[in-house]
Structure 1
Amino acid sequence: MDPSIEMLPSEEFDGGTVVACVILGLSFLVGAPGNLLVIWTILKHVKKRSHTVVLILHLAAADLVVLITLPLWIYSLAHFWVFGEACCKAMVFVINACMYSSVFLITLMSVERFVAVRYPFVSVVWKKKQALNKVLLALWSAGFLFSIPIILTQTTEGDDGKTHCLYRDYTSDTQELVCLLLETVVGYMLPFSILVVCYGCLCSRITQMNFRSKRKSTVLIASIVVAFAICWTPHHIGNIISIVILAIGDSKSDIANKLETARQTMMFVAGAMVFISSSINPVLYMFAARSFRESLRDTGIQKLFRHISSTSPGEGNREISFVSKRQSNQTNCSQLMTDCV
């Protein structure tokens, strides 16, 4: 999940480096305060947090860790890497772990939303088992585990006479192929397949939801999924192209050269969009919270998270109560008819 490799500075394309620095700077200015606001709002103003809100909290924390490294990346792109190879490996390792964790968190949010809408009583069991902390521990552990190859391959040596924390040094084509497949399958294809299945099944249900707040929270999470797909797809298309080049074997063939040219062309856009993905979620929350604003003291985003908590598994679920009440009424009516007979 190394986005840094996508931001390679080129002596032939100084304008690209400038644009990269501008995009990363804007991502930092928008995303870092935005994610800090999300974390502060949830911790201070949402006392009874549903599982969905807890996952949003962890997602904001993972994105914030990625974004606070951007000033170092901007300096490195504008000049060169001056912090040593150990710091380079450690920083890229943490970034990759957080990005893996972000993908896993988004997937878990979608699965939870699917279960909450389609199988509401299973959500009650999920709440009673108090399994969220264990799942989160496993999720973060997996993110760090899958990032271990970074420690083995990340290097600070460059081919332009300067030191940059932007390169991978693979010992063989096989090692590169395994790393690319691991990153693309675990970090994109598998999660994205789960997301498509979940929201494909929910598509017909969203407009039929009885509670406006639950419908709003489901649409919000769907928008996070769409943003994830848009931001990460170019990066993994580049990975797939690299895998195809390795599979061809002859790096000097016309097909391999054309594929490499295509990959180099999209590297700039792909790298920028990866970092944008960490700053876009707070913007989505703000748009979703506009209709919840009632006063300056009770801001829209506070009320948004409160509504998500009140309509999600983990705290008092009004939809489950509604279903239970409806089934209870049906049972009473059936019993009354039996007594009359």
Structure 2
Amino acid sequence: MSNNSIACHNESSGQYSILPVCIYSFISSVGLIFNITALAFFFHNTKSRSHTIVYMTNLAIADTLLVLTLPMRIYYHLGFTGLPQWFCDGLGLVLKANMYGSIFLLTFICFDRCMAVSFPMSSHVQEGRRKAPVVCLGIWILTFGASLPIYLFGPQTDSPNCFDNLPIYAIQLKVVLPTLLMGFGFPLVIMLICSWGLVSSVQQSTVAQTKLVDGRKIYRMIATSLLIFLISFLPYHATLVLLYLDGPTPSCTVLTAYRYSLMVACLNTVLDPIAYYFTTDTFRRSFDISTVKRMFPLNSQSSESTGRSRRPRNS
């Protein structure tokens, strides 16, 4: 860790750590509730599971794993020290791997929807869509397999600053270039192409012209997916570019921007479940109070017992 990074850490310690604590606390609590609820819905409604739902289930798992790393960041930003560096690096590995897993899964969700709408009668497309579980397995292997060597064989640090260490791996050209291209650039290009394909298919579809398909709903789905993707991941990858351009001793401003852009990227775990609700008809139609009661029978039983206790007894 560079002296400049240590100085920036000292300047940002103390009272200024309250903002990371608040942001990470919000993301961890709300994100955990949202994603556990989404997973309960996905696993409860196995009969209506589509190929897109397979991707969404894996996305919710990735978001949940990411959220589970945040309490230790809260612990650190509250001023507690003494965490071993290998433990901090391990949590960083899980966070980054699941963040890029979310990026790839969001990309394949968009691609799957594009294929389903653009080529609904193609047997080759339908056969390819059935391989969604294999694609998800490949994404898990890719994200953790690509991240693990960086933490195992990269340069080691004995700095005690845990999560405030300079992201030295991310500013090396041999790492940052593939990260920007494969981890953000290509997925963004694919999402843009698929979104354009979806819009074109809807405009040319005779079914959409007869109002049997709500084109506005599809447009809203496209806009929501792209907006969530850009809001969550564009700031983080933009700061990676700034870190690289600043060289081995980036300024405190760039380091601070990097740390807060990582928080924004983690916010994706809260936004994804909201996207499930507003862009997926099956999720929105099925997810109501009765569904929640069926998924959590203890609550419904307690409510019923409470209701019975409040009823007046016949004398």
The TM-score, its normalising length taken from structure 1, stands at 0.70
1:282 aligns with 2:273: yes
1:177 aligns with 2:177: no
Partner of 2:313: none
Partner of 2:183: 187
RMSD of the TM alignment (CA)? 3.3
Structure 1, unpaired ranges of 5+: 1-5, 252-256, 303-341
1:228 aligns with 2:229: yes
Partner of 1:12: 11
Provide closer, same or farther for how the CA distance between residues 46 and 71 of structure 1 changes in structure 2, counting only shifts above 3 A: same
Residue 261 (structure 2) aligned to one of 247, 256, 270: 270
1:238 aligns with 2:231: no
Partner of 1:134: 134
**Does structure 2 conserve the Cα–Cα contact (< 8 Å) formed by 1:104 and 1:191?**
yes
Partner of 2:289: 296
Partner of 2:309: none
Provide closer, same or farther for how the CA distance between residues 223 and 9 of structure 1 changes in structure 2, counting only shifts above 3 A: farther
Q: Deviations over 1:30-76 (max 9, x none)?
A: 10010000000010124231110110110000000000111111101
The percent identity for this pair of structures is 22
Shift of 1:104: 0.7
Partner of 1:101: 101
Shift of 1:277: 1.1
SS in 2 for 1:24: helix
Partner of 2:301: none
**Does structure 2 conserve the Cα–Cα contact (< 8 Å) formed by 1:100 and 1:143?**
yes
What pairs up with 1:60-139 in 2 under 5 angstroms?
60-122=60-122, 124-128=123-127, 130-139=130-139
Provide closer, same or farther for how the CA distance between residues 83 and 265 of structure 1 changes in structure 2, counting only shifts above 3 A: closer
**Does structure 2 conserve the Cα–Cα contact (< 8 Å) formed by 1:184 and 1:236?**
yes
Using the alignment, how far apart are the partners of 2:93 and 2:131 within structure 1? 27
The TM-score, its normalising length taken from structure 2, stands at 0.76
Using the alignment, how far apart are the partners of 1:65 and 1:154 within structure 2? 26
**Does structure 2 conserve the Cα–Cα contact (< 8 Å) formed by 1:153 and 1:170?**
no
Shift of 1:183: 1.6
Partner of 1:336: none
What pairs up with 1:21-60 in 2 under 5 angstroms?
21-60=21-60
Using the alignment, how far apart are the partners of 1:217 and 1:62 within structure 2? 25
Shift of 1:152: 3.3
Shift of 1:136: 1.7
